[in-house]
Amino acid sequence: MKRAALIASLAALLLASCALSENSHLFRQGQQLLESGRASEAAAVYRQGLSRDANNADLLYNYLYALYESGSYEAVISESAAAIEHFPYRLEFNRLHARALLAARRHAEAESAYSALIALNPADYPLYEAVMESAHASGADDLAKTMALHLLDVAAYERKALTVLAELEPQSWYALALAFLTPQH
């Protein structure tokens, strides 16, 4: 009886080890494809892994990220919404969802998604900064301004926030404050 239990335990460990090894191979292959600019192919590799291990959050995130990198924003939006429900404590799905909304130029929805994400951790200043910069670059000026205004009170981000605000409103006091903070040579 003990021997049968030992053999069953060893078999289970061997199967788990094989699955981990296969997933490691998929992760490496997908990463190599992403690094070489072949995001669609990377997404297919990760999708293949998900067909065997549908509850693997890391494979799912990599799949969605590869889709994002390939420009399939609408697919990322719909599939990340399902991932958020399935893995509610994995905030990287929320971030990717919001990024895809912004990239798809669905600014109001992106602002709502980012606001919900920031509400979960209001002191995540690097997130405010990343959102501010992405929003500014993509023309989501209201979102960029909202994030910049939050960062004005944080000394480490004040200059970056003022830079964005001054670019958005060149005739405002933000430009004067930035000029005051910027050393003249």
The pLDDT tens digits along the chain (185 residues) read 556 664 555 445 444 444 445 667 787 887 888 788 988 988 898 899 888 888 999 999 999 999 999 999 999 999 999 999 999 888 899 999 999 999 999 999 998 998 888 888 889 999 999 999 988 998 889 999 999 999 999 999 999 998 899 899 888 888 777 777 777 66
What pLDDT is attached to residue 104? 94
Q: State whether 31 and 107 are in the same domain.
A: yes
Q: State whether 46 and 98 are in the same domain.
A: yes
User: For residues 62 and 50, what is the distance between their CA atoms, to the nearest angstrom?
Assistant: 10
What pLDDT is attached to residue 21? 55
What pLDDT is attached to residue 53? 86
Q: State whether 48 and 95 are in the same domain.
A: yes
Q: State whether 101 and 136 are in the same domain.
A: no
Is the Cα torsion angle 168, 109, 150, 127 positive or negative in sign? negative
- Indicate the DSSP class of residue 184: P
Question: CB pairs under 8 A, 24+ apart, for 11-20?
Answer: 19/52, 19/53
Q: State whether 157 and 176 are in the same domain.
A: yes
Range of the domain at 137: 128-185
In a domain, 1, yes or no: no
For 8, half-sphere exposure in the C-beta direction (CA atoms, 13 angstrom radius) is: 5
Q: How far is CA 21 from CA 7, 84, 135, 179, in A?
A: 21, 27, 39, 56
- Indicate the DSSP class of residue 131: H
In a domain, 6, yes or no: no
Q: State whether 97 and 142 are in the same domain.
A: no
User: For residues 53 and 19, what is the distance between their CA atoms, to the nearest angstrom?
Assistant: 9
